[in-house]
Amino acid sequence: MATSNTPFLPLLTIAIFLSIPLLSHSEPQLTLDYYKTTCPDFARIVTATVTTKQIATPTTAAATLRVFFHDCMVDGCDASVLIAPNSFHKEERDNELNHALPGDGFDIVTRTKTALELACPRTVSCADILAQVVRDLVVMVGGPNYPVLLGRKDSLVSRLSDVEPNLPQPNMTMDVIINLFESKGITVHEMVALVGAHTLGFAHCSEFADRIYHYEKNVPTDPDMNPTYAEALKKFCSNYTKDPTMSAFLDLYTPGKFDNMYYRNLLKGLGLLATDQLMAEDPRTKPFVERYAANQTAFFEDFAEGMQKLGMVDVKTGDEGNVRDRCDVFNTFRT
C-alpha cells in the first residue's frame, strides 16, 4: 500500500485490505445511529468533506484504504496509526512498514475531524471518522456501499513494536499470510476479497524489484509473471535505486476504478506483488480469485462483508479509549 505527491506512472499500483474478526473479549456495543443526537450532521459532514477531497485528489481513496488496513491490523481499529511521530516516543508510524503510508490518507481524516469539531466538539472519535471516510471513498470510486457501525474510541497508546508482527509483507509465504489473517478472525475467502482493494493504488518499485531483477541466482525474473509485463516493469523501474518514489499501479488497466479487474489481471500473470500473484496459484485462494474475476457482484458482496468485519477488529469502547481532540496526538502528553 506513498504520498499524494508521488508520481503516478502508467503501470500498476497498490493498495491493501482485509476482513474482520470477532473480538477476543466482549462484543463491542456499536450502533449505526451512535451520533444521532450528539452529532446529527455527522454523515453529511463526512460525505461533503470526502467528496471535495477525492475530486481534488483522486488518489485519496486508495491512500485511505491502506491507512485503514494498517490501523485495524495492528491492535485493532482505534486510530493508533494516526498518531504523528515525535522525538519522545516511537509510535506505529515510526515503523518502516508505515513510512510509505500515503499522506492523503491522513489528510482526509484531519480535514474531516476539523469540520466535525466545528459542528460537534469533542464528540466524534478519529477511529469512527476513518471507518466512515473509507466507506464513502469506496462508494465514490465505484465500489459497494455497506453500513458502518459507530461508537469506537481512540486508542491511548501507539507502539512501533506492534506493527511488524501484525502486517503482511511481500516476502511472506501464503501459509504465514493466512495464519496472520486468521489470527484476526479473518477467513481465507474474506482475506482474498479484502486484498481486492488493490484494484486501487500503487506500489513502489522497491516492493517488487526482487521479482523482476533478483528472483533467483540463475532466474532473475519470477516465471509466474507475464514476461511482456515483466520486461516493461524492468525498463520502467530501472532507476528505482536512485529514485525511491518510483511506483507502478497495482491494477494495470483500471487503477482508479473499484472493480474486479485486479483478479482478472492475476489470472493473466499481471499481479504486481508476489503475494498477490501467489493468491492465483495457491489451491486455498485460487478458487476465490477465479470467482471474483468472473463475478464482480460476488466480489462486491464479499468485500462489503469483509470491510464491515475488518472495521470491528479489536475496537475500543468505554474506558478502553477516548475521543481525541486532534487525531494525530494524544489528549494527554505521555511522560
Residues belonging to the binding site for substrate are: 168
Report which residue type is found at 177: I
Report which residue type is found at 144: P
Give the three-state DSSP class for 264.
helix
Cell of residue 316, nine digits: 475500543
Place of cell 516476502: 171
Instruction: Give 32-55 as a DSSP string.
Output: TTTTTTT-TTHHHHHHHHHHHHHH
The residue among 36, 65, 61 whose CA lies nearest residue 51 is: 61
Instruction: Give 102-139 as a DSSP string.
Output: -HHHHHHHHHHHHHHHHHSTTTS-HHHHHHHHHHHHHH
Q: Residue positions in the annotated binding site? A: 71, 74, 76, 78, 80, 92, 168, 198-199, 251, 254, 259
Cell of residue 188, nine digits: 481465507
> Alpha carbon 275 to chain centroid distance?
15
Q: Residue positions in the annotated binding site for Ca(2+)? A: 71, 74, 76, 78, 80, 92, 199, 251, 254, 259
Measured distance between the N- and C-terminal CA atoms of the chain, rounded to whole angstroms: 33
Cell of residue 2, nine digits: 506513498
Among residues 25, 70, 99, 214, the one annotated as catalytic is 70
| Distance, CA of 309 to CA of 317 (rounded, Å) | 16
* 214 part of the active site: no
Give the three-state DSSP class for 249.
strand
Q: Residue positions in the annotated binding site for heme b? A: 198
Report which residue type is found at 302: D
The residue among 167, 162, 166 whose CA lies nearest residue 92 is: 162
The residue among 106, 197, 107, 66 whose CA lies nearest residue 143 is: 197
The residues annotated as belonging to the active site are 70
